[in-house]
Structure 1
Amino acid sequence: MYFILLFLLFCWKLDYVLNDNNQDAPLSFTELAKKYGHNCEDFDVITKDGYILKLFHIKGDKTKIILLAHGITDSADSFIIRGNLSLAITLANKGYDVWALNVRGTKYSRRHVTLSPDNKKFWDYSFHEMGTKDLPANIDFVLNKTNQSKLTIIGFSQGTQMSFVMSSMLSEYNAKLNGIIALAPVAYLHNVKFPLSILIPLLLPISSVQKVTDNEEIFKNGSLQTNTIQKVCTQKNVGYEICGLGVIFPLLGSDPSELEPDFFPILFEHFPISTSRKNLEHCAQVMTRKKFAQFDYGLANLMIYGSLEPPEYPLANINVPVGLLVGLNDKIADVTDVKILRDRLPNPHYHEIKRKQCNHPDLVYGRTMDEYLYPILFELLHNFTKS
């Protein structure tokens, strides 16, 4: 198992391409929406720093607007690949106006007004820029398009992280939110479980090597590591044994009843996708420094921030209600860390999912989310939006 994990980690340094096996391309978000009974439109959203982001929309009641924010090395697809059980389709079936963003660098958002993805400057970002640039741009676009004043964010994993960044740093955006529903919320990473507690710190020296070699894009489409993962993990039986039992469950928490063998070929047609070296390094800094803080530039901090240490995100500024939904078996968004977050938020609504095996991906990919997750989620939505 650990050989597999280390292989996936260190193959970042390899940049040649395997031959294509002529597999059919996976369905896009728009195609999946249509497959499950909904028309979907897409828009280009331009951030203040020039990134062109794809935003998907399934029409519904404009007074019930939801903005979905996906996790790391993922895209809006995560909210729809479970089909009729997925969050996007469930919301649409209930009449919500569903919008799903795609942050910079993902397969849907690889454009910029001046920069090419081949330019290393394109990849000079972390979840900080997602929170201060990508999320605000999408919120403004949606509210302008719908002529409404507020929406509700539902984020998963890094989607929660960018939401906390935005609402703490750009507190004026709190007036545009009914609230934030945070699925597997990520802010503090003090208690990440083994083996991630060992592997995540390794990202720092690896990132230094990547920076020297100008290798800024991680999980690039067509690269050795991405092709290897997708070729292996989409094999129905072998893929489940290697990628499920050997990687996903040890890393994120074991729950084979929710993430069954038949789902893995679907999952790994859409995941993982590109992110930046700097984004992973920033996540590693949060864990090793035990602070939910801005990027640590070392000696340059004094020039950038006016202090030797990067400032922590001022969570006390988040004055909207925040629903915190956490699984008891989540090895990343550990219950203890989410409680630290809860205690630093002005208006938290904390919920532990009572399924004993509920892990990190169960809150976006679980086979029976309608039983253990959606009742809590829709109660929060009702409470956040009632007059």
Structure 2
Amino acid sequence: MAKIWTTTLLLVALICMSAAAAVEARTKLYPINDQGANNSICKTMVETQGFVCQEHQVTTQDGYILGLQRIPVGRSGKTADKPPVLLQHGLFIDAATWLFNSPDESLAFILADNGFDVWLANSRGTMSSQEHKSLSPNDPAYWEWSWDELASHDLPAVFKYIYGQTGQNLHYVGHSLGTLIALAVFSQHQLLNMIRSAVLLSPIAHLQNIQSMLMKAAAQDFLAEDLYWLGLHEFVPKGLEAAKLLNQLCKLPGIDCSNLMTAFTGPNCCVNSSKADIFLQHEPQSTSTKNMIHLAQMTRTGNITKFDYGNEEGNMNHYGQPTPPVYNMSSIPNELPLYLSYGGKDTLSDMKDVQVLLDDLKNHDKDKLVAQYIEDYAHADFVMGVNANKVVYDPLMAFFSLH
């Protein structure tokens, strides 16, 4: 128990100190209005690899201005002859996660070279999506959201924008949190008129069996809740002070941070160590503390519900009922083509939790559901693995060709 409390206090100190310097860090690391010039994802990560890239923006119903990148053609310059594909990243990262490897190993580039019209999403709060019609990221109100809003506002806005630009239904690829928000949307029978198929890499839905010790400790000790009530609405896992205190945290018994990525995601088999270093220079990025609370609630209860306000009055005010509404995964339309790919070493998307999700989908049309198990893959292998092009992306594109 003493070890757990020590871990919790260090984590609180880590986030408090990094949050105190959040405004300064944001200015130094990624100025809000500096993404449109030479520091944009298009300029720094796509055009440098020989691809055409366009920067787009879409405004959500609640005022967040999201950045989108579009790779309309491959290196051959031939006009895309296949449908649009939307790539949605996970937690603490942005669209750059699809671009870290070489063009022959990164999913965004591979899809473009194979004739797809590729769109890269960036969730609210990430570097490319920090603008708002009336709020600044320095305002606590800016961070008053969880993944509920990513599902109810961000994803619909992006879908509708791409459909409006292309006139075509799209394929969807989500990783980690990007799978959860899609599953939530589909379970409510939304956006189905604009989608061809969905690929879920390291699917996140049920979280009761999560094996990441850092994430489990934070959830079990109500860390995010404590931070929220301390007034820290932006969850800042980056910066000099955060790095110093994380170094101390990693010295505690039972916490192995010899590889920081492994400590969070599991022992990735196939991530190039040099690319992992580049990844950690660009990431992790901020999310909302409320989002972390929501994920912690799921970890503790094993349920997939809307955000729980902690008491009947709060839930009644928001939902008109004393408990938060459930996202029923078994209500996802049986005819929606789904491709799930999960790994045996993944400490965030645990095999047992994925099996519960597959049980939810047991009545799905047999020819519309594919489940791929990769024994030696952990969480980051699906987006950064040097062999993912053959192991995951080739089968993924074959699945697209059927739908």
TM over 0.5: yes
Q: Deviations over 1:17-47 (max 9, x none)?
A: 4999xx9989642121112120100111000
Under a length normalisation based on structure 1, what TM-score does the superposition of the two structures give? Answer: 0.86
Of 213, 230, 246, which residue of structure 2 is paired with 1:213?
230
| Structure 2: gaps of 5 or more residues | 31-37, 74-79, 248-254
CA spacing shift, 1:244–1:39, aligned 2, 3 Å: farther
1:70 is matched with which residue: 89, 96, 114? 89
Asked if 1 retains the 8 angstrom alpha-carbon contact of 2:64 and 2:131, the reply is yes
Partner of 2:288: 276
Do the aligned residues in 2 keep the contact of 1:29 with 1:80 (CA within 8 Å)?
Answer: no
Task: State whether residues 81 and 267 of structure 1, in contact with CA within 8 Å, keep that contact through their aligned partners in structure 2.
Answer: yes
| CA-CA distance at 1:12 after TM superposition | 0.7
Q: In the alignment, which residue of structure 2 is the partner of 1:81? A: 100
Q: Identity of paired residues, percent?
A: 27
Shift, 1:305, TM fit: 2.0
2:81 & 2:240 partners in 1: Cα distance? 41
Aligned to 2:77: none
Residue 390 (structure 2) aligns with: 371
Structure 1 residue matching 2:161: 3-state secondary structure: helix
The one-letter code sitting in structure 2 at the alignment partner of 1:192 is I
Task: Show the 5 A alignment for 1:285-324.
Answer: 285-299=297-311, 300-319=314-333, 320-324=336-340
Q: Distance in 1 between matches of 2:29 and 2:296?
A: 35
- Structure 1 counterpart of 2:34: none
Change (3 A) 1:4 1:108: farther
The alignment partner of 1:83 has SS state of coil
Name the structure 2 match of 1:178: 196
CA distance in 1, matches of 2:197, 2:107: 17
Aligned residue number for residue 51 of structure 2: 38
SS at match of 1:116: coil
CA distance in 1, matches of 2:226, 2:139: 18
Partner of 1:114: 134
Does structure 2 retain, via aligned residues, the 8 Å contact 1:76–1:100?
A: yes
TM-score, structure 2 as length reference? 0.83
Kindly indicate whether residue 226 of structure 2 is the aligned counterpart of residue 224 of structure 1.
no
The alignment status of 1:13 with 2:25, answered yes or no, reads no
Q: For residues 378 and 318 of structure 1, what CA distance do their matches in structure 2 show?
A: 22
Q: Which amino acid aligns with 2:382?
A: L
Show the counterpart of 1:245. Answer: 258
| Secondary structure of the structure 1 residue equivalent to 2:325 | coil
**CA 1:327–1:91 in structure 2 vs 1: closer, same or farther (change >3 Å)?**
same
Secondary structure of residue in 2 paired with 1:292: coil
Equivalent in 322, 335, 357 of residue 376 of structure 2? 357
Aligned mates of 1:172, 1:96 — CA distance in 2: 24
Measured after TM superposition, the shift of residue 193 of structure 1 is 1.5
Mean Cα deviation higher: 95-104 or 81-90 = 81-90
State the shift of 1:62 in Å: 6.0
CA distance in 1, matches of 2:190, 2:354: 25
Give the SS at the match of 2:83: strand
Q: Which residue of 2 aligns with 1:263?
A: 275
Rounded Cα–Cα distance in structure 1 between residues aligned with 2:160 and 2:341: 26
Q: How many residues align?
A: 367
Residue 193 of structure 1 is aligned with which of 189, 192, 211?
211
Counterpart CA distance in 2 for 1:245 and 1:86 is 26
Superposed CA RMSD in Å reads: 2.9
1:375 is displaced (CA, Å) by 2.5
Instruction: Give the match's secondary structure for 2:162.
Output: helix
Residues in 1 aligned to 2:246 and 2:256: alpha-carbon distance in whole angstroms: 8
The one-letter code of the counterpart of 1:369 is: A
TM-fit CA distance, 1:64: 1.5
